Structure 1
Amino acid sequence: MVDTGSEKALYACVYRSHSGNQETTRLFDHLTEMADKAQQRYPTAQLVFLGDFNAHHEEWLFPYEKTCHAGREARKFAVSLNLTQLINVATRVPDVPGHTPNCLDLLLTTDPDRHSVSVSAPLGSSDHCLVKSVSIHSPPDLCPRGTRRVWRYESADWDEMRHFYASFPWQQVCFSSGDPSCSAEAVADVIRQGMEYFIPFSDLSLDQKAQAWYSSDCARAVALKQSAYQAWVLARDSKAGAQRVCARKKAFNSAAKSCKRVLRKARFDHVSRIGAKLASYPPGSKRFWSLSKAVESNFCRPTLPPLQKPDGTLAHSAAEKANLFASLFASNSRLDAGSKLPPTLPQCSSSMQGIAIRQNEVRRALQTLDVNKANGPDGIPARKTVCA
């Protein structure tokens, strides 16, 4: 739910797999039931259902060639809730010559006048177009602030995440209060914690600045890809000759592959520049560690998984884990000696001579210090020590 303070909008993301008719009917019945409950709780809220419906209907969806059971169920679902279908172009780009593009990605809403929808070329190697919907609920923020979290699911440790969720004390942590709202928030926090520990992520700034690796070559490649896609769509919708449509489709495929290569090379060159920059800095210098920490903070995660405390809860932060290890070490280091007395150490007859510290020796020691090293236990930087 999106609540702007004056209006509410309920979003539901749907994906219908290629299942049987019975499963499809059950899915739309479930969506109808959930929509009815949402409207009872929020009577004035806008409903939005979007996603890959995998539905065909010759009278309702593009390109009007056939009707399947999913298409009939989708249309019946939209009519029963007074939903308007806003996608009127093909959203799946066929990867087999001769196949017809279909409108599989739908956006159904109870307030169509508030939405502006556009369809662009697919991203990466996907065969589905990028569908963008802009819905204005309040005056737009011309200077967005904050960060946006990006997850790298391909690098996630799914096995450890399953173990984390399976061994988590859900009953003690999430369902001890008896308040459904508190339990829901606690469950959401635990799910978020599991994602943060086992799925690498990065928090990107929303100051509308381009990525450091995104060069003018990348912008030109993306523009060529988009123009080739629009040329293919125009030839297809104008019912031009099959040969012309096929040529435009090949041109789009070529532009998409070229764009992918350019973006990949730009990212690789950017990483190579960072590596060369790190190698040029003196090891241990302030600039070296500043850049190294900035690189490590991008898509990083703790190497030590959450630890279970004696009371059944989990230790997540580094301080909690360190204290847990310290208490475990302290408990294992206590030995029951009973009534035994500590051993008597022999007397030492020799004594150490007095220590003489000379100014020249101190100066020579200071001159050998590496000013690029970090602070020592005394907290005094080596650079200030040498200057003094």
Structure 2
Amino acid sequence: MNRTLNFNAAKKDRTITGKITSISSPSNVQLQHLYRGDFSIRVFVSNIRSLLSHMDSVCTYLSLNKSIVLCLAETRLDSTIVNNDLAVPHYHTPIRKDRNRRGGGCAVYVRSDYYVKRLVDFQNTTFEILVLRLTLPNKLSVIIINVYRPKSTSIKRLNERIKTVLDEIKKSKYKKDRIHLVGDFNAHHRLWSNNNVKSTKAGEIFYDFLEEENLYQLVRVVTRDVSGTCLDLIIVESSSFIIDIAVRPSVDRSDHNFTEFKIQILSLKEKTERTVYDYNAVNWEKVNERFSEIPIHQLLKNYNNLNERVTAFEQILLEHIQYYVPNKKICIEPRNKVWFNDKLRILYKKKWKLYRKCKNSSYHFQLYAKAAEEFKAACTITKEDYYKRINLKVCASSANW
């Protein structure tokens, strides 16, 4: 049993296949040029229905699958269970949110070669939610929110809490981290299970909430066989970096399957600096006069090798130019285009300001649409003009080279 799903970026148009496939969304392709050197981390999610009674199975599962993160729901733990009883070799002690031995609770295991921090500021004693920040080898970080919603907790109250947590994260110093919301939400929607089992009331409410918040629920297969429902979910703000989603067999007496996915981690290309010289603002007579005063021949006598003399002369000349020619350093972002000029930057900022206002005003939406068209047209014209100039130079007579 190894059911896997393949989906595109559209929320309502995903199909199930019989093998592991990776996401191929337009947004993924568009972002690739900003990054270099990729790797992925494996994350497993399941309702374990008592962690203590399934410890042997959990240890075996982690040993075989080598996952980086294991998120568990309904751990059924309390303060009488110490962490030593839950230890797994090569993993940090579990990060826990306990309720009692009869039900509820959640926990997360993280492999010991990864640094993890519990973000308690975003947690609430009323809800069974764990918020963690995982630091990756490339120094980037991701946030994983593990959730268990018992049926006694209103789905509307949970929605409000999730929205609060997401809003608080976006206002914090972690606002640039990618967020992954996982767990057992006890909310089933027919579109998620890809079968004829009717949506639950909680599932319909939660589905609408995700639509409103522009969040993607990626699991599209049954995760609890006995009811034919999809309860163990993976929710993200963007599917661009999520690959290889699979639903695997449950352990022992648990009636929930394991849900697995990989977070593809790509390192941002570094910014580069370039020095730009303004040769039109130079008094060349003064530059030549000062340069002639430098005892070049005397300085080069210190070098016997011709290559060393050339290198020394280049250094003297560049230092002279650096001193007398006005210049400035500019930072080149990975996404910068050679034809993107200051005029386009002004138009882009104007469009972005209107975009932030257009959601609440039809008047600003019209202004935004107009600004977007203006920006798009200006980009097309500027790009064409740039390449025309390059083409003219390349095709010019060799006498000008």
TM-score (norm 2): 0.31
Higher RCO, Cα 8 Å, sep 6+: 2
Q: TM-score, normalised by structure 1?
A: 0.32
Pair member with larger Rg = 1
Greater share of strand: 2
